[in-house]
Chain A
Amino acid sequence: MFNQQARWDRKLPQASGNNSQLLKEKISVLCLFAKGKVLPRYFFWKNHTFRIEKVLFYWQEQQGREIISYFSLKTNEGLYQISFSNITFSWRLDKIIDT
């Protein structure tokens, strides 16, 4: 097993570079749970509906007992990263990658 990153490391400014806009806002997601997979279809943010055209990448991160599932998405309006926590059962919009 490889160690997770140190927690305060994440707090350091994402600094410079190809900065995606960090949001970490709670959102509502319409998704399909099928064959052991989570397949987000739409998400709703700021009174707006985003249709998910493709899940570009998926990964998980364990923080203690909490498993956070991350999705990099292509929507009809741009590229976004959302995440789902198995403990709080909540979805977050983490980043706007590109619009």
Chain B
Amino acid sequence: MIMHIDMDAFFASIEQAINPILRGKPLIVGSRANKYNTVVCAASYEAKRLGIDSGMPTTRAFQLCPNALFVVAESSKYTYVSEEIFKMLKDYNVSVEHYCIDEFDLYFPDSQPESKAKILTIAKSIKQRIKNTFNITCSIGIAPNWYLAKIGSKIGKPDGLIYMDKSNYLNIINDLPVEKICGIGPNLSKQLNELGIITCGQLLQYPKNLLVERFGKIGSWMSQCLNPNYYTEILKKESTIPKSISHSYTLPKETQDIQLILSWLRMLSETISNRLRRLNLEAKTICVQIANSIQQGLFKRKTFQQGFWLGYDIFRCAKVILDLKNGYKISARIVRISVSNLGIKLQTPLFENEIKKEILYQKVGQINDKFGEWTIYPAIIKLISEIPKDNETPK
């Protein structure tokens, strides 16, 4: 059996626990910069009831609820709580996975029917401990496969506990819309709807061969993902090497300043480089995305023969990928760099310049590890701290 734990409105709940004045009120947790010109990182349940949700522009959120309260997200506290919960879950002597900052999986191998009571006791204990320690709640889904467990955690929100086994899972999921399945987004669900598949029950009954014919591999996955016998152990991390590392940033406001865009790209490259250095990895594929309010973005990717891990090299590759020429105009609100095709860094540089560069990066990394990230950083990044204050009010 798999137990999927999903924290309820994680960031917003933590902010409400820190400041009780925010409790019971519509609350938006957003990124820095002007509150009317950013995105919703998280919303409290009171805000969600008014239609506000993560990823929404705050302009829209404040149209829906002009009196919503706003706090600036501070990732360090969310990271700390997430890691503390992860440590707490390890007390239960079962395999634990950190799915993302606010979701965790516990694996109960070779579960027997009589262990239902035991698993439910553990689930209740986890909920109680999280509540007692952090004064926040979570929703738990328990099922024979990960997708069902994930659905269970979603439909029970907030503070829910849903147990599914072969005897009751059909009753629970039969009428749920297919978009409740993790991995089926708006586009896929629209295509499924066109085939007459609206609910999970209809998806389960739809012939597998027709799904495969229409969607290929994804069709095969869709035909199995709700089957309690579907083996989802594969979702556990098979190796310590991640598939990709990505960092993005939503700028306080849209900019056409190439130097500023480049400085953000350099910052993201350095952040990725730090992670690659700690994991002793290098990346061969580099992907750059620049999006603004008009176009969903410039999205370019390139695979190189040689692997990179130095921030400067990643940045240089990103510039090559973007192919910025003199006079080229670009407008950016969101900048993102991701690296994939990761492997253990095996090759040491041969040429003196490369050796020097690598030693420099190692030393700078050691200093930053000792005195805190960004104690030493490339000068171009300085531009970022010079973004003018924005005092715009909503239109």
Q: Which A residues contact B (CB, under 8 angstroms)?
A: 1-9, 11-18, 20, 56-57, 59-61, 63-66, 70, 72, 74, 79, 81, 97-98
Q: List 15 A-B contacts (CB under 8 A).
A: A3-B275, A5-B74, A6-B373, A9-B32, A13-B32, A14-B32, A17-B70, A18-B19, A18-B22, A57-B18, A61-B77, A64-B368, A64-B373, A64-B375, A79-B21
- A5-B76 contact, Cβ under 8 Å, with A17-B69, A57-B135: yes
For B35, give its contact among A5, A15, A63 (CB under 8 Å): A15
- A12-B373 contact, Cβ under 8 Å, with A2-B82, A56-B18: no
Q: For A9, list chain B residues within 8 Å (CB).
A: 32
CB pair A70–B77 under 8 Å, yes or no, is yes
- A57-B389 contact, Cβ under 8 Å, with A5-B75, A7-B372, A15-B35: no
What CA separation (Å) do A63 and B76 show in the bound complex? 10
Query: CB-defined interface of B355-395 with A at 8 Å, one 1/0 digit per residue?
Result: 00000000000001111111100000100110101100000
CB pair A63–B387 under 8 Å, yes or no, is no
CB pair B275–A16 under 8 Å, yes or no, is no
CB pair B30–A17 under 8 Å, yes or no, is yes
CB pair A16–B34 under 8 Å, yes or no, is yes
CB pair A18–B134 under 8 Å, yes or no, is no
Residue of A nearest to B375 (CB): A64
CB pair A12–B33 under 8 Å, yes or no, is yes
What CA separation (Å) do A13 and B35 show in the bound complex? 11
Q: Is B20 an interface residue (CB 8 A)?
A: yes
Q: For A81, list chain B residues within 8 Å (CB).
A: 18
- A66-B372 contact, Cβ under 8 Å, with A3-B271, A72-B18: yes
Q: For B20, list chain A residues within 8 Å (CB).
A: 56, 74, 79
Q: For B370, list chain A residues within 8 Å (CB).
A: 64-65
Q: Is B101 an interface residue (CB 8 A)?
A: yes
Q: For B139, list chain A residues within 8 Å (CB).
A: none
* Interchain nearest-CB distance for B173 vs A (Å): 32
CB pair A64–B33 under 8 Å, yes or no, is no
Q: For B369, list chain A residues within 8 Å (CB).
A: 64-65
Q: Is B291 an interface residue (CB 8 A)?
A: no
Q: For A17, list chain B residues within 8 Å (CB).
A: 30, 35, 69-72
For B19, give its contact among A12, A59, A64, A79 (CB under 8 Å): A79
Q: For A4, list chain B residues within 8 Å (CB).
A: 75-76, 79, 373
* Interchain nearest-CB distance for A90 vs B (Å): 16
In chain B between 172 and 204, which residues have their CB closer than 8 angstroms to a CB of chain A?
none
For A15, give its contact among B32, B77, B134, B372 (CB under 8 Å): B32
Q: For A20, list chain B residues within 8 Å (CB).
A: 19
